[in-house]
Amino acid sequence: MTPDNPTLASRLSPNRPKQRRAVKQFKLYEHPDGRRAAVKQGWSWPAACFSFVWAFSKGMYAIAAALLAAGFVLALLSTEADELFASGDRSARGADYLSHLCGWILIVVLGINGNELRERHLRARGYQLRGVRRASSSEDALAAAEDLELEKGL
């Protein structure tokens, strides 16, 4: 066994060192009542993959309702286009393609803008930007900010 070619047993060993996770940039927000939130910068996989469920879980109920309605309309358009196409209307295929294209565009827009939407939501709820931290997770970013405040307080 060489360091460049570890065996499967050494990879699965509970004593192996933990791999470092990718470091990301987070904006840290704080509410006047003391609640804190960390928002990752860049692409939002949860927003892209889970759309209205993600928005609902973050307390963005109006956005969640709009995303759910958009998904319903796109699904209805696709279903109607499929039925028209099955009945012989060949021009309906374009509407089906358009509904799928709109769905993919919505996914990309949410992925690109999801974290910014969350930041706007936090600011509208009274949260204020307290700083930017690099960390491997939002929990680590919040913990690092708390540690820094404790050091400043001493």
8-33 pLDDT, tens digit each: 555 566 666 566 678 999 999 999 99
pLDDT of 111-121, one tens digit each? 999 999 999 99
pLDDT at 81: 87
Rounded Cα–Cα distance for residues 49 and 63 (Å): 15
Residue 129 clears pLDDT 60, i.e. is over it = yes
Residue 69 clears pLDDT 90, i.e. is over it = yes
Percent of the chain's residues with pLDDT above 90: 64
What does the DSSP 8-state code read for residue 154? -
> Mean pLDDT score of the chain, rounded to an integer?
87
pLDDT at 7: 63
Q: Burial letters for 70-103: b for 16+ Cβ neighbours within 10 Å, e otherwise? A: eeeebeebbeebeebbeeeeeebeebbeebeeeb
Domain ranges of the chain: 8-153
Bridge partners of 133?
26
pLDDT at 154: 45
Better-predicted residue by pLDDT, 82 or 148:
82
What is the average pLDDT across 33-58? 96
For residue 148, what pLDDT band results from cuts at 50, 70 and 90? low
Rounded Cα–Cα distance for residues 151 and 147 (Å): 6
What is the average pLDDT across 50-75? 96
pLDDT at 35: 94
